[in-house]
Homo-oligomer: A and B are copies of this chain.
Amino acid sequence: MCKKNKPTNQKEMSFIEKARRAQIVECAIETIAEVGYAQASLGQIAKRAKISKGVISYHFANKEELLEQIAIEYYLAWQSYIAPRVEVQKSPKEMLRVYIESNLTFVDENRKHVFAVIEMVSNKITADGKLQFAADHDEVVLLPIENILTQGMQEGVFREFTRPSARVMALTIRNAIDGFTMELMRKPHLDIQEYTRELITIFDASTKK
């Protein structure tokens, strides 16, 4: 029995088990990206994966856990892409530039996955009306950018943002990136370089002292 395994005890999973889960998650991502969250039934996902619906239920306690896994994998991939690129920068200004740059590149190179998560964040309102999932998303995603901004303030290279934690500025940058993602979904042939350059210009100007 592997059901009801929370992600926390994933150490107990066998290699093959992890591989199967990964495969299913991959198919779920593609399905959501292609047909949208609302249409992404387990049946659809199973069909794409060429497995039976039951398999999904076997490996994941329920649909929610599967979706959760998509988010988890996304965050891990995202962090391991962004963090090292940002950290090697010398100045907050450079860090901000690279943050924006690498985010847009990451989106471009992981369109399906990113789109799937965006879809999920948009839709995931839990039954009891809370926005838990989306909130988590924001907290995790917002932190790095807030750190850059705070550091810039402390070093005196950025202007003073509204406190605490330059939240508005951070959110605006995040919204710009997420909004870009959705625009990219609508218009896949967007000129990403142009978009990147302009966004950097915008936020360079708006953080400058």
Contacts and interface: CB of A to CB of B under 8 A. Distances in A.
A134 B131 CA distance: 22
B198 A161 contact: yes
Interface in A17-51: 34-39, 47
Interface residues of A, number: 45
A162 B200 CA distance: 12
Given A38-B38, A195-B168, A202-B169, A186 B123 contact: no
Contact of A205 (B47, B131, B205): B205
B172 A131 contact: no
Nearest to A162: B198
Interface stretch (A7-15, A65-73, A76-84, A175-183): A175-183
Q: Which 3 A-B pairs have the closest CB atoms?
A: A175-B179, A36-B125, A122-B122
Interface of A: 1, 34-39, 47, 119, 122-123, 125, 127, 129, 131, 134-135, 138, 161-162, 168-169, 171-172, 174-176, 178-180, 182-183, 185-186, 194-195, 197-199, 201-203, 205-206, 208
